Amino acid sequence: HFWINSGGHFPNVPLDAYSMNGFHSQRIMIIPSKELVIVRLGVTYKRGDFDFNEWYDQIIEAVNSSY
């Protein structure tokens, strides 16, 4: 499934972002405004054990600071 962030589910991620969410929280987040694709192949067994919003925010900031 594709999910869009237009409702602000991830407040630290731009609203134009969309993602593919897979088994055990494997994810692909696509952020057109940042020209960025983030892929997570890790495993999370329990919902809530991994803070995706914070993780995305840290990656976006790291990429922005490298420009």
pLDDT tens across 6-59, in order? 999 999 999 999 999 989 889 999 999 999 999 999 888 887 889 999 999 999
Q: CA dist 32 to 44, 49, 50, Å? A: 26, 27, 24
Of the CA atoms within 13 Å of residue 49, those in its CB half-sphere come to 8
pLDDT given for residue 9 in this prediction: 92
CB-count exposure of residue 13 (10 Å: 0-12, 13-18, 19+): buried
Of the CA atoms within 13 Å of residue 46, those in its CB half-sphere come to 2
pLDDT given for residue 67 in this prediction: 66
Q: Is the pLDDT of residue 65 over 90?
A: no
Q: Of 25, 28, 23, nearest to 2 (Cα)?
A: 28
pLDDT given for residue 1 in this prediction: 77
pLDDT given for residue 48 in this prediction: 80
* pLDDT: which is higher, 66 or 46: 46
